[in-house]
């Protein structure tokens, strides 16, 4: 390597050396106590913190300090820091920072590339801005690549199509062959630059793989779990405030009940592929909503309000609101309503309009209905902030899991009530937000289910 390399720690990581024989590392609310911590541990961490140590100098220091045992200690420490996403490698060329690599899960090992082999950026690479620099990352990569030198960006752009280091040396006379080769070697070692993509990846869309990786622990540098990002802010209340629109009390849900056993319901369950014109009675809608979404208890954990309903929800947050798009529902005027579980009533959100008509038509298209539309559509909308306040990295994943649980319950309850239903594979959130006027990043639909008779 012709680049000079130094090590550093994450800028938001704090080190506490006050307790003898222990070092406390804290980042974004996560605490790691390194214990027992020897004098060599402390010396190594202070050197890395000062950003004036290279991997080679640390190994040399460790050997001089305690021979082979010292070398083992420093290698273990670097592995531990890397596994937690706490270590960064800076690469300098002619005294100027070219790029920074933050390895994930495993130590950075650089393998030289062949000058005549052709490489190309993986189609899963994502470029974004972070802390005033461009960042290249991928769910397949073993590290994050932060660009400090515009010449690195030029190389990344050139590798949008297959090219060898020799090709780029000819097309970039302002860059030395060493610069191109070393930069390419790091990118290949990180799996951002590839000769050929794994065949098994052909069926993956980049957004699906990114979502899967972020929510399944591939990125150790991103906090994951119940870790409030903004604890100084107040979380959203458990119950969404009424918009002040007219409300329609629903019939007593206890007066209508199905007689099928649980096993019979599971056996009878079908996804409906056609609906007739028969309207859904308001009493049936009442029982359906009450069975799946009634509030059993309200509570509080600190300043976080919690709910207990028939179905599980991440942290007892229950961020999902149920909206009824009623086209043919008993005496209900065709419109969009929101179910208020606390008082078991419907709140009129907006009168029938072209956006609601489009939502209904698109639901029919999603179910491949050619001539009919369902009498009603239940739209599940999440108040995202309820979950995002508490959880990091997995908030949207948790919202979708909760939506899946609620969809299944509505589907099976509909079956028990002799209703036909069909869970939609996709929906149109912009149409919902256009109809309601709600901020799409504060509350929007994440799932839909059609109900009616066939």
**Same domain flag for 104 and 245:** no
Last residue of a domain, one of 90, 116, 133: 90
- Please tell me the pTM assigned to this model: 0.81
Whether residue 258 is found in the same domain as residue 315: yes
Please give the DSSP secondary-structure letter assigned to residue 332: P
Domain boundary among 90, 117, 152: 90
pLDDT at 239: 92
Domain boundary among 167, 189, 215: 215
Same domain, yes or no: 246 and 281? yes
Query: Smallest Cα–Cα separation from 375: which of 287, 285, 253, 447?
Result: 285
Asked, for residue 220, whether it belongs to a domain, the answer is: no
Assign 100 to helix, strand or coil. strand
Q: Tell me, what's the pLDDT at 219? A: 67
Compute the distance between CA of residue 450 and CA of residue 403 in angstroms, rounded to an integer. Answer: 14
31/166 same-domain check: no
pLDDT at 70: 92
In a domain, 222, yes or no: no
Rounded CA separation 414/420 (Å): 7
CATH number at residue 239: 3.40.109.10
The pLDDT of residue 255: 57
Asked if the bond preceding 36 is cis, omega within 30° of 0, the reply is yes
Candidates 218, 116, 223, 237; CA nearest to 177 is: 116
Identify the CATH number of the domain in which residue 163 sits: 3.90.930.70
In a domain, residue 152? The reply is: yes
Residue 247: domain span: 227-452
Same domain, 364 and 274: yes
CA distance 377 to 336: 9
Whether 221 is in a domain gets the answer: no
Tell me, yes or no, whether 143 and 155 share the same domain: yes
pLDDT in tens, 397-422: 999 999 999 999 999 999 999 999 99
- Residues 176, 210, single domain; the answer is yes
319 inside domain: yes
**In angstroms, rounded to a whole number, what is the distance separating the alpha carbons of residues 122 and 196?**
8
Domain total in the chain: 3
Same domain for 199 and 271, yes or no, is: no
Same domain assignment for residues 244 and 155 = no
Half-sphere exposure of 421 (CA within 13 A, CB side): 26
Tell me the CATH number at 81: 3.90.930.60
Residue 186 inside a domain? The answer is yes
Beta bridge partners of 247: 347
Find, among 184, 132, 129, the residue nearest to 156 by Cα.
Answer: 184
Do 116 and 166 touch, CB atoms closer than 8 A? yes
Mean pLDDT by 10 residues, the chain (454 residues): 89 88 86 89 92 89 91 91 90 93 87 94 93 90 93 94 96 94 96 93 91 77 74 89 88 70 85 87 94 94 93 95 95 95 95 93 83 90 95 92 96 92 92 95 96 91
List the Cα angle 240/241/247 in 5-degree steps: 105
Which residues, at least 6 apart from 411, have a Cβ–Cβ distance to it below 8 Å? Answer: 269, 421, 423, 449
Residues 342 and 438 in one domain: yes
Is residue 411 domain-resident? Answer: yes
Give domain status of residue 286, yes or no.
yes
Task: Please state the φ and ψ torsions of residue 346, each to the nearest 5 degrees.
Answer: -105, 135
CA distance 194 to 159: 10
* Co-location of 445 and 325 in the same domain: yes
Q: Which residues lie below 8 Å from residue 410, measured CB to CB, with a gap of 6+?
A: 288, 292, 378, 421, 449, 451
| Whether residues 313 and 393 fall in one domain | yes
């Amino acid at each position: 390597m012709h680049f000079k390399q130094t090590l550093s720690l994450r800028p938001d990581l704090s080190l506490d050396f006050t307790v003898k024989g222990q070092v406390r590392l804290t980042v974004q609310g996560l605490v790691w106590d390194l214990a027992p911590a020897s004098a060599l541990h402390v010396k190594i961490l202070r050197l890395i913190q000062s950003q004036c140590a290279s991997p080679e100098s640390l190994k040399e220091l460790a050997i001089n300090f305690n021979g082979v045992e010292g070398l083992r200690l420093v290698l273990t420490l670097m592995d531990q820091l890397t596994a937690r996403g706490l270590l960064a490698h800076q690469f300098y060329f002619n005294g100027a920072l070219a790029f920074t690599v933050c390895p994930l899960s495993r130590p950075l090992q650089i393998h030289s590339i062949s000058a005549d082999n052709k490489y190309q950026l993986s189609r899963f690479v994502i470029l974004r801005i972070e802390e005033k620099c461009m960042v290249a990352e991928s769910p397949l990569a073993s590290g994050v690549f932060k660009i400090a030198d515009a010449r690195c960006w030029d190389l990344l752009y050139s590798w949008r199509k297959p090219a060898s280091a020799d090709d780029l040396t000819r097309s970039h006379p302002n860059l030395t062959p060493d610069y191109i080769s070393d930069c390419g070697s790091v990118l290949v070692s990180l799996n951002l630059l590839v000769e050929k993509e794994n065949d098994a990846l052909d069926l993956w869309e980049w957004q699906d793989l990114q979502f899967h990786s972020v929510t399944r622990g591939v990125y150790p540098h991103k906090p994951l779990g119940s870790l409030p990002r903004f604890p100084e802010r107040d979380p959203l209340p458990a119950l969404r405030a009424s918009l002040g629109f007219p409300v329609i009390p629903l019939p007593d849900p206890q007066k209508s009940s199905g007689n099928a056993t649980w096993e019979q319901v599971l056996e009878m369950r079908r996804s409906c592929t056609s609906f007739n014109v028969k309207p859904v009675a308001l009493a049936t809608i009442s029982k359906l909503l009450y069975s799946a979404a009634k509030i059993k208890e309200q509570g509080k954990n600190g300043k976080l309000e919690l709910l207990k309903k028939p179905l599980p929800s991440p942290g007892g947050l229950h961020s999902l609101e149920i909206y009824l798009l009623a086209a043919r529902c008993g005496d209900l005027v065709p419109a969009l309503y929101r179910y208020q579980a606390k008082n078991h009533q419907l709140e009129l959100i907006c009168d029938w309009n072209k956006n609601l008509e489009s939502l209904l038509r698109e639901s029919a298209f999603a179910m491949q209905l050619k001539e009919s539309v369902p009498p009603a559509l239940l739209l599940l909308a999440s108040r995202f902030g309820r979950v995002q306040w508490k959880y990091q990295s997995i908030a949207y994943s948790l919202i979708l899991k909760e939506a899946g649980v609620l969809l299944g319950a509505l589907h099976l309850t509909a079956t028990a009530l002799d209703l036909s239903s069909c869970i939609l594979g996709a929906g149109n959130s912009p149409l919902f937000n256009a109809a309601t006027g709600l901020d799409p990043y504060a509350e929007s639909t994440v799932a839909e289910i059609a109900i009616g008779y066939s």
